[in-house]
């Protein structure tokens, strides 16, 4: 199938087509599978984001409850401290210590007076400290009911800490004092009782964007706690919105899926995350398995395609070779192919065709033989009678137009005879009826004898022979060798001007004798050279000279029957040299 502009839709070879087939099937399957996995990814992602957001919400709720509980408790403590009957130092300390024991997450409770001085504390070292410069103290002094501070390094422990502070006021709204709870972020696991599987995590972040608590618990430096400060997703949650999405962890740079929920009204944020890699692992495993299977199927189909293609192309190329052999006239062979039945049928058709051609060839040979035999008989009579006539004319002394006429009849009859001989010979050579009778031949003697005998038929005076005296004898059928030489010499004389010389040379090389016939005649055009030795081929310039175009064809077949090679070198207008080789004795 071709597009009009010459684009090909299908590959050119059977192999290409068979390899295309699995591709045609696999590509849509791959696309469908890819679509399926994409949906699966999206579905998993949505589920995971939702789960994380829900978890973040519930962590936020737990934490919210926890803070409110402490704030309530602080209210109760505040009432005890502002009772009209003041507590003794011992009572005050006892009260604070007892409360601290109630909360695993609180390091100590303190009672601070309106000027910021720690009056009593469950931690004796804190008593006497002045906290009036702390932001949470100032906020309460300015009128806020309670404050949860951001994370800071505690002055007593040097550890990260945060405080939950509540102011206590009288009816006139005058600040009487502040109850301060110093919390230990490390122990918040007691409050946020979430246990997650795999590498999933939760975290609590303060208003500054500092990491207060993380599950699974890890040792974090102050710098690491500050890392997520300023992250865009966090900023949005700190502003009070719920957020769910994929983001890169600022701590270990892994891609995470997570949900963020604000912890109102405190302004903190709860986060729940799971690494994307962990969420997608099962899908990716399935994907690799499915694509691996598809790949194996594709490879197997391609292998089968290759095998099938071989099954077709091997018999096809054998059929091609067979067709060429039939073209060369090798009718004796039959072809059997093992392959698809269509090809077997084709092979049978070929055999049948070869058989039919063979019958035709045989018929043609028979015709050529009978025709030439009968023609020759008639010619012989014409030639004989013309020669008789010629002699009688000579005796009678008639040398005028009668004599010319009789001579013309004799030469024409001879030429015709030569042509018939060519036709018969070529038919015989083709049908393989040629039997060589080889014997040792001394080329020197052979050529001079040949030229002597041919005096009548050709212009031997123009032929110059150059054969070294010590040339080894060759192995040849003398009759056929004579034919080869006569053909080449006749051509050389025929296709060159009368006054030029024809050079006959022979020399021995390693295993053979190289014979050449050179003329200084019209030469042969380069485009004719490849066809010169074909049957009935005549170069354009030679049409005027008589001939059938069979001479060189026969010559070549004879040379090859001797086990030699023949070729020509020629230049238009300069002359030609025909070479052939003969095996040594």
502 binds ligand ADP (CB under 6 A): no
547 Rama sector, left if φ>0, alpha if ψ -120 to 50, beta otherwise: left
Separation in Å, CA 532 to CA 17, 518, 555, 581: 42, 16, 11, 18
State in angstroms the smallest separation of the CB of 540 from ligand ADP. Answer: 8
Exactly one of 529, 538, 565, 584 binds ligand ADP (CB under 6 A); which one? 538
CA distance 155 to 149: 14
Distance CA 18, CA 372 (A): 56
- Position among 209, 339, 521, 564 found at the interface with ligand ADP (CB under 6 A): 521
Cβ count near 272 (within 10 Å): 29
Where do runs of H (alpha helix) occur along 331-400?
341-395
Stretch of 19-27, 289-297, 433-441, 531-539 lying at the interface with ligand ADP (CB under 6 A): 531-539
Per the structure block, which two tokens stand in for 547?
Answer: 């001939």
**What's the CA angle centered on 529, arms 430 and 488, to 5 degrees?**
65
Query: Least Å distance between CB 572 and ligand ADP?
Result: 9
CA pair distance 142, 289, nearest whole angstrom:
66
93 vs 496, which CB is nearer to ligand ADP?
Answer: 496
Residue with nearest beta carbon to ligand ADP: 547
Using the minimum distance from each CB to ligand ADP, give the nearer residue, 231 or 487: 487
- Gap between the Cα atoms of 163 and 126, Å rounded: 14
Q: Is 310 helix (H, G, I), strand (E, B) or coil?
A: helix
Residue 505 CB, nearest approach to ligand ADP (Å): 15
CB of 485 to ligand ADP, least distance (A): 13
Q: Is the peptide bond before 265 cis (omega within 30 degrees of 0)?
A: yes
Write the binding mask 542 to 581 for ligand ADP: x where contact by CB under 6 A, - elsewhere: x----xxxxxxx----------------------x-----
Q: Which residues contact 436 (CB under 8 A, 6 or more apart)?
A: 477, 480, 561, 562
We find the least distance from the C-beta atom of residue 569 to ligand ADP, in angstroms, to be 11
List the one residue from 184, 430, 477, 519 that touches ligand ADP (CB under 6 A): 519
Q: Which residues are paired to 502 by β-bridges? A: 463
Q: Which of positions 409-428 make contact with ligand ADP (CB under 6 A)? A: none
Q: With contacts defined by CB under 6 A, how many residues of the chain interact with ligand ADP?
A: 21
Nearer to ligand ADP, 339 or 551 (CB): 551
Q: Give min distance, CB of 486 to ligand ADP, in A.
A: 11
| By CB under 6 A, residue 495 contacts ligand ADP | yes
Mapped onto helix, strand or coil, the DSSP state of residue 522 is: coil
Nearer of residues 392 and 534 to ligand ADP, judged by Cβ: 534
* Using rule CB under 6 A, residue 489 touches ligand ADP: no
Expressed in percent and rounded to 5, the helix, strand and coil fractions of the chain are 50, 20, 30
Task: Give me the helix-helix angle, 478-494 and 443-453, nearest 10°.
Answer: 60
Closest distance to ligand ADP from the beta carbon of 466 (Å): 17
Please give the structure tokens belonging to residue 18.
């068979």
When binding is defined by CB under 6 A, the residue of 126, 420, 539, 558 that contacts ligand ADP is 539
Name 438's Cβ contacts closer than 8 Å, sequence gap at least 6: 475, 476, 477, 562
429 touches ligand ADP (CB under 6 A): no
Query: What is the C-alpha to C-alpha distance for residues 105 and 186, in angstroms, rounded to an integer?
Result: 8
The site map against ligand ADP for 151-190 (x = CB under 6 A) is ----------------------------------------
- Record the tokens describing residue 466, joined without a space: 């150059």
Q: Name the minimum Å distance from CB 492 to ligand ADP.
A: 5
Name which of 121 and 576 has its Cβ closer to ligand ADP.
576
- In the complex with ligand ADP, the residue whose CB is nearer, 271 or 566, is 566
Question: What residue ranges bind ligand ADP (CB under 6 A)?
Answer: 491-492, 495, 519, 521-524, 532, 537-539, 542, 547-553, 576
């Amino acid at each position: 199938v071709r597009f009009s502009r010459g684009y090909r839709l299908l590959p050119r070879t059977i192999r290409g087509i068979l390899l295309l087939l699995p591709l045609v099937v696999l590509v849509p399957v791959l696309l469908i599978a890819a679509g399926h996995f994409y949906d699966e990814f999206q579905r998993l992602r949505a589920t995971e984001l939702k789960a994380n957001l829900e978890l973040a919400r519930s962590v936020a709720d737990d934490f919210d409850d926890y803070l409110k509980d402490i704030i309530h408790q602080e209210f109760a403590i505040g009432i005890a401290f502002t009772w009209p009957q003041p507590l003794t130092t011992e009572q005050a300390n006892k009260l604070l210590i007892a409360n601290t024991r109630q909360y695993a997450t609180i390091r100590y409770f303190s009672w601070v007076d309106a000027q910021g001085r720690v009056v009593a504390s469950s931690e004796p070292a804190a008593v006497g400290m002045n906290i009036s410069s702390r932001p949470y103290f100032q906020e309460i002094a300015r009128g806020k009911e309670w404050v949860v501070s951001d994370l800071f390094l505690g002055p007593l422990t040097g550890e990260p800490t945060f405080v939950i502070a509540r102011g206590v006021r009288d009816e006139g709204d005058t600040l009487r004092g502040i109850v301060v709870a110093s919390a230990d972020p490390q122990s918040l696991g007691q409050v946020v009782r979430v246990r997650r599987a795999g590498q999933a995590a939760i975290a609590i972040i303060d208003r500054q964007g500092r990491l207060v608590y993380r599950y699974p618990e890890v040792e974090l430096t102050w710098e690491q706690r500050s890392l997520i400060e300023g992250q865009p997703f966090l900023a949005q949650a700190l502003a009070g919105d719920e957020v769910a999405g994929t983001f890169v962890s600022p701590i270990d740079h892994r891609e995470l899926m997570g949900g963020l929920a604000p912890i109102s009204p405190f302004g903190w944020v709860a986060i729940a995350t799971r690494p994307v890699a962990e969420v997608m692992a099962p899908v990716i495993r399935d994907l690799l398995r499915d694509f691996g299977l598809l790949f194996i199927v594709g490879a197997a189909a391609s292998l089968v395609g290759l095998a099938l293609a071989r099954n077709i192309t091997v018999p096809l190329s054998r059929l091609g070779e067979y067709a060429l052999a039939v073209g060369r006239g090798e009718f004796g062979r039959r072809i059997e192919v093992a392959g698809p039945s269509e090809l077997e049928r084709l092979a049978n058709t070929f055999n049948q065709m070869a058989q039919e051609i063979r019958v035709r060839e045989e018929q043609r040979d028979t015709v050529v033989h009978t025709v030439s035999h009968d023609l020759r008989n008639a010619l012989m009579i014409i030639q004989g009678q013309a020669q008789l006539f010629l002699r009688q004319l000579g005796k009678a002394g008639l040398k005028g137009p009668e004599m010319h006429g009789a001579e013309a009849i004799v030469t024409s009859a001879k030429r015709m005879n030569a042509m018939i001989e060519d036709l018969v010979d070529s038919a015989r050579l083709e049908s393989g009826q040629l039997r060589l009778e080889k014997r040792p031949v001394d080329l020197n003697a052979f050529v001079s004898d040949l030229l002597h005998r041919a005096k009548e038929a050709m212009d031997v005076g123009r032929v110059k022979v150059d054969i070294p005296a010590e040339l080894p004898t060759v192995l040849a059928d003398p009759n056929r060798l004579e034919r080869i030489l006569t053909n080449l010499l006749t051509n050389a004389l025929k296709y060159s001007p009368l006054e030029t010389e024809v050079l006959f040379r022979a020399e021995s090389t390693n295993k053979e004798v190289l014979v050449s016939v050179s003329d200084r005649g019209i030469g042969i055009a380069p485009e004719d050279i490849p066809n010169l030795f074909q049957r009935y081929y005549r170069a354009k310039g030679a049409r005027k000279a008589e001939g059938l175009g069979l001479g060189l064809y026969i010559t070549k077949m004879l040379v090859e029957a001797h086990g030699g090679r023949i070729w020509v070198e020629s230049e238009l207008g300069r002359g030609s040299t025909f070479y052939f080789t003969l095996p040594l004795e």
